[in-house]
Amino acid sequence: MTRFIDVSTMSRLVGDIGVVPFIGELADAIQEDFVRWPAFDKSARVACHSDTGVIELMPVSDARRYAFKYVNGHPGNTRRGLYTVMAFGVLADVDTGYPVLLSELTLATALRTCATSLVAARALARPGARRMALIGNGAQSEFQALAFHSHLGIEEIAVYDADPAATGKLIRNLAAYPIRFIRCGSAAEAVRGADIVTTLTADKARATILTPGMVEPGMHINAVGGDCPGKTELHAGVLRGARVFVEYEPQTRIEGDIQQLPADFPVVDLWRVLAGLVQGRQGADQVTVFDSVGFALEDYSTLRYVHAQAERRGLGQEVELVPQAGDPKDLFGHLRATGARAAVRRVA
């Protein structure tokens, strides 16, 4: 049987744990798996692009578990009353191929994205960071704000979105938290004096949310929104003036902000920093960029964490996603038995 976690069950799980502890524990799980990087069979995600968005499959496995996520990105969905990003995923047993978990990942992806941003910032941002700029105040913004406030000590967040209603929504949703929000009239105003800058825009376009003149010495830039071919947020000059860190280089070269630059532009694997193999930030005034596109290993970590926590709490429904094998050589027998039961019902 396969454990099934739907949206309401995921919401209950996060509620039982607490959204802030959930983010922290998930960040730890992601870091643990990144340190085991060589143990995983990795590949760039498979993407199907259209004029309106992208649909992707993201697979990864180690010797014990295989995971994949189905995810989309359709910026125009909000005009239809739909989410820009939605996802679901599967965690399977490598020895048998049997799925042990089928889970919603729309909520969980938002949590794992902010948790990954937190992992990178813990390793790359200057110690004592207290002010963050949050450019783009859509569906991911509350998660990022909570992660950095609760686990990195950010006290003040300068916020800007081209849609003021999105900024209002963010501030209302986090009114219970002791975060000082500063509404700004432009991205340039928001980033002034920031220790950390997070960009979270959704439009599928080659945008320049951040230009070299807006960057100050020592900033850590958490570039989250540029995550598919033809979609960027940072001016190429920002990247050239920084030390750039990536999740999985073959994927980021295609999808990240570094798609603007030559193939030999130097980048640093985040996992090598987390494993202590290379230095991250090399000085207080160095500008660091986490060119985050989202990698399948983060979803693997999320699925294994959710599976363990749901089992511990007895949450989720056991579903027959795969037929039970009375005789493993007789698959047709399941149809025969179902047909017989249907015939009896019709006669009755």
Instruction: Sort 348 into a burial class: Cβ within 10 Å, 0-12 / 13-18 / 19+.
Output: exposed
- Concerning whether 33 is annotated as a catalytic residue, the answer is no
Instruction: Find, among 134, 102, 92, 130, the residue nearest to 117 by Cα.
Output: 134
Q: What is the pLDDT of residue 347?
A: 47
What are the sequence ranges of the domains in the chain?
A: 2-107+298-326, 125-295
What distance lies between CA 215 and its chain's CA centroid? 25
Q: 227, 257, 291, 299: which one is catalytic?
A: 227
Q: What single letter denotes the amino acid at residue 322?
A: V
CA 28 to CA 45: how far, in whole Å?
Answer: 23
Q: What is the pLDDT of residue 339?
A: 63
Query: Average of pLDDT values for 126-146?
Result: 96
pLDDT in tens, 275-324: 999 999 999 999 999 999 999 999 999 999 999 999 999 999 999 999 88
Distances from the Cα of 310 to the Cα of 54, 89, 94, 306, 316, angstroms: 30, 15, 20, 6, 7
Long-range contacts of 250-254 (CB under 8 A, 24+ apart): 250/44, 251/44, 251/45, 251/293, 251/295, 252/291, 252/293, 254/44, 254/229
Which pLDDT band holds residue 346 (cuts at 50, 70, 90)?
low
Check whether 64 has a pLDDT greater than 70: yes
pLDDT above 90 covers a percentage of the chain that reads 85
Q: What is the pLDDT of residue 180?
A: 98
Q: What is the pLDDT of residue 225?
A: 87
Phi and psi angles of residue 124, each rounded to the nearest 5 degrees, phi first: -120, -30
Point out the least confidently predicted range of 215-224, 290-299, 322-331, 338-347. Answer: 338-347
Query: Average of pLDDT values for 157-165?
Result: 97
More confident residue, 68 or 328: 68
CATH number for the domain running over 125-295: 3.40.50.720
CA 144 to CA 126: how far, in whole Å?
Answer: 18
Superfamily holding 2-107+298-326: ornithine cyclodeaminase, domain 1 (3.30.1780.10)
Which pLDDT band holds residue 344 (cuts at 50, 70, 90)?
very low
